[in-house]
Structure 1
Amino acid sequence: MKRIMIKILPLFMVICSLSSCLKGYDTNIDTDKTNSVVEFANTGNIVSGGNATYHRFASDLGVLNLGDSATFNVNIHYAGAAYAPTDITVNLEVDAAALTSYNESDGTDYVVPPTSVYNFPSSVVIKKGTLESQIKVAIVRNADFDFAASYALPLKIASVSTGLIGSNYGTCIYSFSIRNGYDGVYEVTGDFEDFVLGAAATSSYPKTIDLVTYGPNSVGYFDPNLNGGIYGYSFENGGSGSYYGNFAPIFAFDNDGNVTGVTNYYGQGTNPQVRSAELDPSGVNKMTFDGTTPVKLEVSYFMIQAGAKRIAVSEVFTYTGAR
């Protein structure tokens, strides 16, 4: 019996060692196919949840003005036992049903963009002797681009000239977002008055504020240093940090950079505090640019509470860079 145990133990150690090595290797190759598998390869980090039916990759395409375009990459991989034995033609298509399934599994609300917003080649060739090819998906900011929508392209490998289509990475979701020309990080100074709290309320300037794309010509007031980062206006009450709940301005602009309106991110009087925002027409109320780069925003506005002016604000935003 002792001799049997001695012979089995080394074999067990070898098996464990091999198992450990396999577990430590991270890949997106289908384990249920042995070779000649064609699939999408990772494009950045996977951002979908663990229960999602498909993997999702996300691209921030930066600032696009009307008529501008940008691209993101999609990688297609040959996962065979060696390099591609011949040229492999891979045909691609949009699978709207896959996006519906993804939304249901991951709790998202992505939609396929209008066809005028995107463009990509319907096929790509993985050359003989290689492992991967790449396409570029072009996104255009045109009149059909809806900033209120969450866009994603559900791409599917429809067919291949050689090999099998991977079951895990045969379809992937590619979400993307763009920013308008007012978006960015700003250092903010200004004046502030609370008509209810009086002298007890003082400003918290200077502060860093992100103006975040809300619509094609509007941005929301996001404070990255307030409660871990929220849309909100901070101030000091009796020397202690505070902020107005359910209030943050949204600035809307015309094509010349003039501020045409200010509304509340949390609804115009539809929040529990009945707070809304209103432009103060006596202010400068304009964004200036150096070419297409923001320089400075000067704006004045009120917070209205239950129909009465609660606070008056005049601010100067100096652009420091992209978010």
Structure 2
Amino acid sequence: MKRTIKSLFLFAAVATTLVSCIKERDMNIDPAKGVANMLGFTYSGDDVAGSSSVYSRFTSDLGSLKANQTVSFPVNVSYMGQNEAPADITLNLAVDTEVLTQFNSENGTNYVVPDASIFKLPATAVIKKGTRTTQVKVEVTNNASFDFNKNYALPLKITSASSGAISSNLGKAVYSFSARNQYDGLYVMEATGPMVDVTSAALTGYYPLNMYLITYSGNSVALFDADGVYSKNYFHPIVSGGTSVSAYGSFSPIFTFDASGKVTSVSNYYGQESGGNKRSGMLDPTGVNKITFNADGSVKQIEVSYIMTQSVASPFAPRTYFKEKFTYKGQR
């Protein structure tokens, strides 16, 4: 019923659609006036919850966040039904963890509520007289508590209102959000030295290519085949026999940085010693491993030297050497 109410509300036939959906609940009906106006969370972006979910989920991509940067996402609340608000209506908002527990169970998700220091939720929202909707902003800060490895969501609830009835299902909603670290983006990957596979001279580098560096943690990114040259996934494309595009199975590098812009380590997205060949990533300290920043602090270029190792024959035996430069093109 949640999806029917929401989708039809977005079209013109407000009164008719709400009659057909809300009339199932006797408590929502005023016998003298027909369908009562209801208060609830509405269309803060697309509702991406599963069809069996009681509560809506709205999601926001906060973009790339620098350390201690604060951004916001919108939360819309509405007076839904035949009429506009007859007077100013003050709604009290709060986080309800039971909503998220139920949502995760119904949708097979693992969202968690962020630490209280990460977000700032307005305690109230006011729908002005003669209107139907108001919007408040939830602020999110990339501080020391922000964990890029967690799936964050705020399960919100209208706890009370100065007037009007709160919808039993639309009066609660889940707002998920994700952020990207400052290194995340679309890059041109080029070689600063030949790719060398010590076991096969037929395997060579494939450059230049558009590649994504995707947030893995607050200070690391994983390599992703942006154009699907081999497969649009976490792979490093190579060339076999001079013409055939290939990739190393169970391997894609994760680059980790420190605050100064130094590349401090390289590991494998699929896990160290992954796959039948037990492949891992390793930094090559003899090469260049640094970030070049623009004047505004944004990433201009990343240079990295690393090794794909294989432990199938001997522990962390070097298999392939890479020397690469990633030049930032824009957001992915």
Answer whether TM exceeds 0.5 for this pair: yes
| Map of 1:100 onto structure 2 | 101
| Map of 2:235 onto structure 1 | 232
| Mapped pair 1:211 → 2:213 | yes
Aligned counterparts of 2:204 and 2:321: Cα–Cα separation in 1: 12
Q: Give the secondary-structure state (helix, strand or coil) at the position aligned to 2:9.
A: coil
| Mapped pair 1:315 → 2:319 | no
The Cα of 1:193 is off from its aligned counterpart by 1.3
Cα deviation, 1:257-287, whole Å, max 9, x if unaligned, reads 1100001011111433200000011111001
| Map of 1:275 onto structure 2 | 279
Q: Give the secondary-structure state (helix, strand or coil) at the position aligned to 2:306.
A: strand
Aligned counterparts of 1:195 and 1:153: Cα–Cα separation in 2: 50
Please show how residues 64-213 of structure 1 align to structure 2 within 5 Å: 64-190=65-191, 191-198=194-201, 200-213=202-215
| Map of 2:223 onto structure 1 | 221
Q: Give the secondary-structure state (helix, strand or coil) at the position aligned to 1:26.
A: helix
Counterpart contact for 2:54–2:169, Cα < 8 Å: no
| Map of 2:9 onto structure 1 | 27
Aligned counterparts of 2:150 and 2:258: Cα–Cα separation in 1: 21
| Map of 2:301 onto structure 1 | 296
Aligned counterparts of 1:121 and 1:320: Cα–Cα separation in 2: 36
Counterpart contact for 1:92–1:158, Cα < 8 Å: yes
Aligned counterparts of 1:168 and 1:27: Cα–Cα separation in 2: 15
Structure 2: 5+ residue stretches without partners: 23-27, 29-34
Counterpart contact for 1:299–1:315, Cα < 8 Å: yes
Aligned counterparts of 1:89 and 1:248: Cα–Cα separation in 2: 51
Please show how residues 2-81 of structure 1 align to structure 2 within 5 Å: 26-27=8-9, 31-32=21-22, 33=28, 34-81=35-82
Aligned counterparts of 2:161 and 2:125: Cα–Cα separation in 1: 10
Aligned counterparts of 1:321 and 1:165: Cα–Cα separation in 2: 43
Cα deviation, 1:104-129, whole Å, max 9, x if unaligned, reads 11111000000000001111111111
- TM-score norm. by structure 2 comes to 0.87
The Cα of 1:228 is off from its aligned counterpart by 4.7
Aligned counterparts of 2:101 and 2:164: Cα–Cα separation in 1: 28
Cα deviation, 1:149-181, whole Å, max 9, x if unaligned, reads 110000011111211111231111100011111
Structure 1: 5+ residue stretches without partners: 1-21
The Cα of 1:38 is off from its aligned counterpart by 0.6
Aligned counterparts of 2:56 and 2:95: Cα–Cα separation in 1: 15
Indicate the percent of aligned positions where both proteins have the same amino acid: 45
The Cα of 1:224 is off from its aligned counterpart by 2.1
How many aligned positions are there? 300
Aligned counterparts of 1:225 and 1:201: Cα–Cα separation in 2: 20
Please show how residues 256-271 of structure 1 align to structure 2 within 5 Å: 256-271=260-275
- TM-score norm. by structure 1 comes to 0.89
Q: Give the secondary-structure state (helix, strand or coil) at the position aligned to 1:102.
A: helix
Aligned counterparts of 1:38 and 1:228: Cα–Cα separation in 2: 46
The one-letter code of the counterpart of 1:312 is Y
Aligned counterparts of 1:90 and 1:70: Cα–Cα separation in 2: 23
| Mapped pair 1:285 → 2:294 | no
Aligned counterparts of 2:53 and 2:221: Cα–Cα separation in 1: 31
Question: Could you say what the CA RMSD is over the residues aligned between the two structures, in angstroms?
Answer: 1.7
Aligned counterparts of 2:171 and 2:293: Cα–Cα separation in 1: 45
Larger Rg: 1
Cα deviation, 1:221-274, whole Å, max 9, x if unaligned, reads 111233552111111111211111110000011111110000101111143320
Counterpart contact for 1:84–1:130, Cα < 8 Å: yes
Aligned counterparts of 1:292 and 1:61: Cα–Cα separation in 2: 19
